[in-house]
Structure 1
Amino acid sequence: MRDLRKKILLESGKTQSRKARSRPDSNFGSTTQSPASSPGGSRQGSRAPSRYASEDELSDSDLNDSLTESVMASEDGDDVVGDWTDRLKDCINEILDRKRSSVQGREKYLAGFVHLTRHHFAEALVEDHLNELVPAILRSIRGGRNTDETVAALKAIQMVAITTQSDSIYDQAYSILKSACESSGEEAVKVEAIKAMGVVTMFGGGMDATAEELMDYLQEIVESDGHSIEAADNGPVVTTALTVWGFVASHLDDLEQQSEEALEAFTDQLDSSDADVQVAAGTNIALIFEAIRSYNEQAEEEHDQRQQELREEARLNKREFKAEAYNPFDLQHNQHRLVQRMTELAGESSRGVSKKDRRQLHAQFNSILTSLELGKGPGYSKAGRVARESDRNGARVYDSEKVFQELGYRENIRGDNGQTLTIDSWSLSIRVQFLKKTLGGGFPIHWSHNPAIQESFDTA
């Protein structure tokens, strides 16, 4: 009976959902079936479940098809969708074989490579072909025949860096990425090239040497409203430059040197006509103040410890103790003007701004103002309630014992293996949002199985 049902399903084409058939990797590669986890040859820690998370919700018919696949796999011991490792190998082989490939073929296999490496942690497999794969992808970035091929290649180099964390990628790729950003007339290429510059700097071996150089370059794009890279007043390009600046800056221990000029540039962008630019600028401003606050707290703690040591030294040597002055780092910036502008954005009611943008501006700038006021991270809520009898198992709570409990941080993310993370700093929030956009539906897989992503969150 099961064999007959399987034969009918195979002949009717219902062994694969429409969503599965529409994936970038669905029309090529092996016809073998997908295992429930990565193959045994994969490194320990890379055994991510084989699933295709999506940014879109499944329709009822897609869900029915998926259920059919699950039943067949569980009853017959056969998988239906296809072995993702075989499909990834096919993608890599086709990317490397440029002599036989067409423009459309390269687009297709680069897109398939990006999709598969997003939704599976394929470190061992990609590393096996790293020395050939990186130059091949860079050729498509440098000499892509059309925008789609170039953009797909820019996304592919990001996934190679995130998957392998190879220190050799930055030296090979950075100048090519910068050239693509400056020479292309296409917005999509400029946006992906800026993102790729940030990714290869952070994950491809450029963090220690040139992170600050990249931040200066991005700040120039912001200050010039995109003119510096021939993208005059281009909202998505300026937004991306702001976003990547924040992502790189969130990994630096010391932001004092960059803070003054950057803060001025970001404050000017609060007057942009693009809501995304305003939000990205405001987020970076919040990050700078958080970094300064953290620096001053640590400096004060070190100062107090030093004073205690000097006091004890003076006592032992029987001499007068002279305290050293403590001078916290203070931004020479018109903070009153800054807070005033943010307050206006938090209550934006102009008819020229869409409802969606108004909601975005209200939520983000209210969060930033609360953060500046209380010295907290994003999304902190001062709302709360007084302790009730139910909190004490029915025991009466007297007025003198009543405690007001704030809701505090309310934003959480959940990983593929069930772990949760509370967003309690701007640094962490910026990293999470950037990597979510870069990894798409594969974000939970990489958070659960990619050590580089885990380390990025742990150090935020």
Structure 2
Amino acid sequence: MGKRSSRRKNASMLDSDDDDTLSSSSTVMSDRTVPDVEESQGKVQGGGTKLLDEYVDALFEKRGSTREKALSAIVDAFTNKLQYQFVEKNCVTLLHPCLNSIKRGSSKEKSLASRAIGLLALTVGCENNAAEILEESIPPLSQALKSGLESTLSSVFECLAIVTFVGGNDPDVTERSMQIMWQIIHPKSGPNVSASKIAPAVLTAAISSWSFLLTTVSECKINSKSWQDSISYFSNLLDKDDRSIRIAAGEAIALIFEIGQLDKLSGEDRHSSDSPVHEGNNSQERYAYIQGLKGKILSQVRNLSVEAGGKGSTNKKDLGSQRNLFRDVVEFLEDGYCPQTSIKIGGDILYTSTWSQLIQLNFLKRFLGGGFPKHMQENELLHDVFEFTPKKRQASGGEQLLTSGQKLSRKAMIHLPIVKHEASFQRLFKSPNSVVNKARTQFLNKQRMLSQDRNAGHFAFCPGSEGA
């Protein structure tokens, strides 16, 4: 009881004045009182929560450097181990000081707090606390994005994406977060957003975060003009000098095509002869425009798939990544084949077979960094998202591979990738009789049946739609 009272008192102090300069007689904890991160990390990973309690207590201190050290330790602890036991008792207690750090901390503190909140959401999973984390986080994260502190924006975008991904089960809620991002990606779409130049790293993070959430939204009102504007904007980004921007824009374009939104718009415009004459003419013009835009994009991605260098980084690895991505995009646009990927996690293999899955996987790998294998092996939320069951869970009587008689969890349904092209599964495995292939085929057939029950144009977010 005394610790909670002390935390509330310190929180009040933090809200009133966040000045790091204090007299020597202050009772505030010094930097030396924060346990050394490297020395104590093994103890935290071993299952104990006492040190995490000390780190959380340090977040209520007035000295900024103390809070930064505590946040760094918390980020490391949550990255390298699933802190289920601690979160069960201390979710809100950790969330509030992190939100205060985003509101009033230094650039470094804001970035660390953003990562801590994202990791907290991934650990909580789809419990009631996930929605609370999202709702509590939206105002300070939105304000942090408007502040324009370049050094913090990438972390804030990633945090907003993660907390929405986990807690945004309502499409309107996810749509709201995507609209916040879109106003930064395309400043003209927001009435109160400065049109100042956005740093390449920030724009890349914003597009990647927006695309990550686009993989999850199930329904929204279709705003044809907004979709036309968004795909046109991403097409323009393919001509940017920065390679990371071109790659992020290319992934967003591939995802939009996988959703089938442009095909839907083209179909609507092509069959609009029942409309009044002037509307029919506009629709036909828009149909012609969309077809021309698709042709332009195909030409752009072909060029980027064979680029010899020149624009952007001279790093050969970056150039190779660009070529590989856009070769996949070309193959997808021309033949309907999604990139088939696999990644080894411990003794298991995680497969992806759609752009939605690949974008989710790459985003979470970037966010979790070295902690990704640990989370994929033990985090039940990620097991649901990717329908991934580690062998050790199977051996201990855990969940088995999905069979035709089983139902998907609610969270897996929300994050179910959209399957538009049957051809994308034809090359999944060379051995059609393998045990893995049979189990995987059952799962993919389940996906096909579910996707057929949904309107393809409803798996998308409409940037700029009214009410967002």
- Report the Cα distance in structure 1 between the residues aligned to 2:75 and 2:385, rounded to whole angstroms: 21
Contact 1:266 1:285 in 2 (8 A): yes
- Report the Cα distance in structure 1 between the residues aligned to 2:234 and 2:42, rounded to whole angstroms: 50
Unaligned runs of 5+ in 1: 1-24, 36-49, 51-81, 300-328, 379-408
- Report the Cα distance in structure 2 between the residues aligned to 1:32 and 1:233, rounded to whole angstroms: 37
**Between the two proteins, what is the percent identity of the paired residues?**
24
Letter of the structure 2 residue corresponding to residue 351 of structure 1? G
- How big is the shift at 1:107? 0.4
1:199 to 162, 175, 197: 162
Matched, 1:272 2:230: no
Unaligned runs of 5+ in 2: 1-33, 268-286, 388-415, 418-468
How do 1:339-378 and structure 2 match up within 5 A?
A: 339-353=298-312, 354-356=314-316, 357-378=318-339
Residue 241 of structure 1: aligned partner = 206
Matched, 1:412 2:421: no
Secondary structure of the residue that 2:216 maps to in structure 1?
coil
Contact 1:174 1:200 in 2 (8 A): no
1:216 to 155, 173, 179: 179
Letter of the structure 2 residue corresponding to residue 190 of structure 1? L
My pick for the range that moved more, 441-450 or 257-266, is 257-266
My pick for the range that moved more, 287-296 or 235-244, is 287-296
Matched, 1:157 2:81: no
2:376 to 424, 442, 447: 447
- Report the Cα distance in structure 1 between the residues aligned to 2:306 and 2:39, rounded to whole angstroms: 55
How do 1:108-147 and structure 2 match up within 5 A?
A: 108-144=69-105, 146-147=106-107
- How big is the shift at 1:207? 4.6
Contact 2:55 2:71 in 1 (8 A): yes
User: For 1:173-217, what per-residue CA distance to the aligned partner results, in whole angstroms no more than 9, with x for missing partners?
Assistant: 101101011114x21211111111111211134653321232233
- Report the Cα distance in structure 2 between the residues aligned to 1:90 and 1:330, rounded to whole angstroms: 63
Matched, 1:332 2:290: yes
- How big is the shift at 1:33? 6.2
- How big is the shift at 1:221? 2.3
**Change in CA separation of 1:361 and 1:151 when aligned onto 2, cut-off 3 Å:** same
User: For 1:85-112, what per-residue CA distance to the aligned partner results, in whole angstroms no more than 9, with x for missing partners?
Assistant: 44323222322x32xx521111011011
**Change in CA separation of 1:225 and 1:176 when aligned onto 2, cut-off 3 Å:** same
- Report the Cα distance in structure 1 between the residues aligned to 2:92 and 2:288, rounded to whole angstroms: 48
Contact 1:195 1:244 in 2 (8 A): yes
Residue 364 of structure 2: aligned partner = 435
Contact 2:58 2:70 in 1 (8 A): yes
User: For 1:418-451, what per-residue CA distance to the aligned partner results, in whole angstroms no more than 9, with x for missing partners?
Assistant: 3211221100000001111111111112122222
- Report the Cα distance in structure 2 between the residues aligned to 1:283 and 1:88, rounded to whole angstroms: 38
Contact 1:140 1:150 in 2 (8 A): yes
- Report the Cα distance in structure 2 between the residues aligned to 1:261 and 1:225, rounded to whole angstroms: 11
Secondary structure of the residue that 2:237 maps to in structure 1?
helix
- How big is the shift at 1:223? 2.6
TM-score by length of 1: 0.64
Contact 2:254 2:329 in 1 (8 A): yes
User: For 1:213-262, what per-residue CA distance to the aligned partner results, in whole angstroms no more than 9, with x for missing partners?
Assistant: 32233233223499935651410111111101110001123586564332
Contact 1:92 1:133 in 2 (8 A): yes
- Report the Cα distance in structure 2 between the residues aligned to 1:361 and 1:175, rounded to whole angstroms: 36
Residue 312 of structure 1: aligned partner = none
Letter of the structure 2 residue corresponding to residue 115 of structure 1? D
Residue 3 of structure 2: aligned partner = none
User: For 1:323-372, what per-residue CA distance to the aligned partner results, in whole angstroms no more than 9, with x for missing partners?
Assistant: xxxxxx99934211110111111121243541434322211111110111
**Change in CA separation of 1:31 and 1:281 when aligned onto 2, cut-off 3 Å:** closer
User: For 1:357-407, what per-residue CA distance to the aligned partner results, in whole angstroms no more than 9, with x for missing partners?
Assistant: 4322211111110111221212xxxxxxxxxxxxxxxxxxxxxxxxxxxxx
Instruction: Between the two structures, name the one with larger relative contact order (CA 8 Å, sep ≥ 6).
Output: 2
Larger radius of gyration: 1
Count residues with an aligned counterpart. 323
Contact 1:370 1:376 in 2 (8 A): yes
- Report the Cα distance in structure 1 between the residues aligned to 2:325 and 2:183, rounded to whole angstroms: 24
- Report the Cα distance in structure 2 between the residues aligned to 1:254 and 1:340, rounded to whole angstroms: 31
**Change in CA separation of 1:295 and 1:348 when aligned onto 2, cut-off 3 Å:** closer
**Change in CA separation of 1:445 and 1:155 when aligned onto 2, cut-off 3 Å:** same
- Report the Cα distance in structure 2 between the residues aligned to 1:222 and 1:187, rounded to whole angstroms: 14
**Change in CA separation of 1:331 and 1:214 when aligned onto 2, cut-off 3 Å:** farther
My pick for the range that moved more, 425-434 or 247-256, is 247-256
**Change in CA separation of 1:261 and 1:31 when aligned onto 2, cut-off 3 Å:** closer
Contact 1:163 1:450 in 2 (8 A): yes
- Report the Cα distance in structure 2 between the residues aligned to 1:294 and 1:429, rounded to whole angstroms: 21
- Report the Cα distance in structure 2 between the residues aligned to 1:151 and 1:134, rounded to whole angstroms: 14
- Report the Cα distance in structure 2 between the residues aligned to 1:167 and 1:370, rounded to whole angstroms: 39
Secondary structure of the residue that 1:129 maps to in structure 2?
helix
TM-score by length of 2: 0.63
